[in-house]
Amino acid sequence: MLHENARGAARVVACSAEAARAGIDAGMTLAEASVLVDEALLHVEPHDPTADRRALETLAAECEPFSPTVGLESTDRPECLFLEATSVSRLFGGEAALVERIADDLARRGLRFQIAMADTLGAAWACCGAIASRNRATKAATTIIPPGKTAEALAPLPVEALRLPPSVVGLLGALGIDRIGPLMGLPRDELASRFGPELLRRLHQTLGQIDEPIRSHRPEAAVAAEHVFEHPTAHRAALENNLRRLIDQVAAEVASRRHGITRLVCELVFERIESASLARAKAVGPLRLEVGLYRASTSAKDIFELATMQLERHWLTSPVATIRVAAVETVPLEYRQTELFTDSAHQDARRLAQLIDRLSGRLGRAAVLGARLAADSQPELAYGYRPLVDGPVKQRNASATAAAAADRALPPRPFLLLPRPVALRPTPSGPNGLPGHVEDRGHVHRVVRALGPERIETGWWRGQSIGRDYYRVETSRGHWLWLFRRLRDGQWFLHGRFQ
């Protein structure tokens, strides 16, 4: 039995199968545990988390024959190994055969284990946890969730299986939500505001709506290359030739690790120029070019183009002494990506990724955006933008997006929404108590007709209750504007233009 001091007492961290059969469980105080078994049989050792981690790393290395990428759970005290199986299961004769081979190997080592095969890391973790909690004395157990059946398989499991912080589990429990099934049925956009972003992130990871790559247990040094000029130069062609060569080297090295580059940094270090007249060094900081990629890539040609596009925008004031190139962010390439892009859909996806990279490279990452829609009735909160170079914007799910697109029941909205509603100056009343005139961009419009109101009352759970009556207003010049009256004080605002 292993123990450590926690919450003011010596507590059990782990125990043998025999001790578990006697009723000992993790979290129990040492005093409670000792009364359950004969003291003569009890062997107690202090828990050493570092030794546990080392043992798990050793096991990860020994599991490498079964998978090209083996990683440890990303926690302070990992208990789980993750193996990438997509690309290798067919080499072992299928998923079931692969699981059987791993189970045999672990059993030969005399280990107790649970193995789960699933579409996502989160789902596999949840299933392992469920097996362990069902039967603590089980020596070995395996389960395979068929592809596409993750949601059904997870529905009956407790919410703890989502790898949530205890505070969130407690809050869910207080509201009577103790299974994943009912949790999945709740509106996603409200989950984040009520329970914090971690719940939504874990749920999306588990259901495969956010990627969660396996981080290899072997720490890999960042791939980098450097060229030191014998004679510092500001000659563009010389700089570009060397930059191309370094990017080639880095891209080839990253590709050999079956990874793709998502962020690459080029540094041009300038020569230190001694100023003769002042007799002191004039220091010029290095020029840093950062290339972000929408899709992980190992195409040196594309990355070089993006880097030179940025270089062209800089005026080099001093000769360059050193060029350094480093792939600072890489991710394992998807199995499909290692095959050639064959069909036209993949061709288009690749071309679109190239376009996004080029636009982001020149205009900056914050200028090239993807929209993510949210089911929020407050118009300015019903969408958000995200730089596309950080990766594709995941919508709630594809079918929901298609349904939203087809949802003509949503009342019409303007194409142009002002970033902030503009308060209107009081004017004599027009039709149906609306303002008689509206001032917009220096023009005064006379209101002739209005459609509405559409009442929006929301946001109480955010601590800021919103109450508005929206009207579509036609002006004497044929313009259509979107106005609202704030229910709290009757103040009118202009919020959008139907263009």
Query: Does residue 187 contact residue 454 with C-beta atoms inside 8 Å?
Result: no
Element (H, E) at 296: strand 287-297
Q: Which residues contact 207 (CB under 8 A, 6 or more apart)?
A: 120, 122, 123, 150, 151, 154, 184
Handedness of CA 405, 407, 413, 418 (dihedral sign): negative
Is residue 171 within a helix (H) or strand (E), and if so which, with residue range?
A: helix 166-174
- Residue from 392, 453, 459, 467 touching another protein (CB under 8 A): that is 392
- Which of the stretches 72-80, 186-194, 226-234, 412-420 binds another protein when contact is defined by CB under 8 A? 412-420
Convert residues 472-491 into a mask of x (bound to another protein by CB under 8 A) and - (unbound): --x--xxxxx----------
Interface with another protein (CB under 8 A), residue from 61, 238, 371, 423: 371
**Residue 405 is a binding residue for another protein (CB under 8 A):** yes
In terms of CB distance, is 271 or 474 closer to another protein?
474
Residue 383 binds another protein (CB under 8 A): yes
- The DSSP secondary-structure symbol of 306 reads H
Report if residue 453 touches another protein, rule: CB under 8 A: no
Q: Judge contact between 414 and 497, C-beta under 8 A.
A: yes
Among 176, 419, 428, 433, binds another protein (CB under 8 A): 419
User: Residues 219-246, buried b or exposed e (16+ Cβ, 10 A)?
Assistant: eeeebbbebebeebbeeeeebeebbbbb
We find the least distance from the C-beta atom of residue 480 to another protein, in angstroms, to be: 6
Among 36-44, 211-219, 328-336, 382-390, the segment contacting another protein (CB under 8 A): 382-390
The separation between CA 275 and the C-alpha centre of its own chain, rounded to angstroms, equals 49
Report the residue number, 14 or 349, with the smaller CB distance to another protein: 349
Per-residue x/- mask for another protein, residues 237 to 276, rule CB under 8 A? Answer: ----------------------------------------
DSSP 82-94: EE--TTTGGGGTS
Q: Does 493 bind another protein (CB under 8 A)?
A: no
CA 485 – CA 459 distance, rounded (Å):
17
Rounded Cα distance between 396 and 373, Å, is 8
Among 182, 213, 286, 414, binds another protein (CB under 8 A): 414
358 scored as a contact of another protein (CB under 8 A): yes
Give the H/E segment covering residue 238: helix 236-256
- Cβ-based nearer residue to another protein, 218 or 443: 443
Distance in Å, CB of 303 to another protein, minimum: 17
Q: If binding is defined by CB under 8 A, does position 22 make contact with another protein?
A: no
Residue 369 binds another protein (CB under 8 A)? yes
**Whether 287 contacts 316, CB under 8 Å:** yes
Under rule CB under 8 A, residue 417 binds another protein = yes
Rounded Cα distance between 207 and 149, Å, is 10
Q: Does 117 bind another protein (CB under 8 A)?
A: no
Instruction: Name the residue with tokens 């992130």.
Output: 201
CA–CA separation, 126 and 160 (whole Å): 8
**Could you say which residues in the range 429-448 bind another protein, by CB under 8 A?**
440-441, 448
d(CA 104, CA 106): 6
Q: Which residue has the tokens 């259901």?
A: 207
Candidates 113-121, 180-188, 234-242, 416-424: pick the segment binding another protein (CB under 8 A): 416-424
Q: Which of 234/352 has CB closer to another protein?
A: 352
Please report how close the Cβ of residue 327 comes to another protein at its closest, in angstroms: 25
**Any idea what DSSP says for residue 464?**
-
Position 354 contacts another protein (CB under 8 A): yes
Closest distance between another protein and the C-beta of residue 457, in Å? 19
- When asked if residue 328 is in the footprint of another protein (CB under 8 A), the reply is no
CA 372 to chain centre: 14
Task: List CB contacts of 231: < 8 A, sequence separation 6 or more.
Answer: none
Contact call for residue 366 and another protein (CB under 8 A): yes
Residues 203-222 within binding reach of another protein (CB under 8 A): none
* Residues engaged in binding another protein (CB under 8 A): 345, 348-349, 351-352, 354-356, 358-359, 362-363, 366-373, 379, 382-383, 385, 388, 392-393, 395, 398, 401, 404-408, 410, 412-419, 440-441, 448-449, 451, 474, 477-481, 496-499
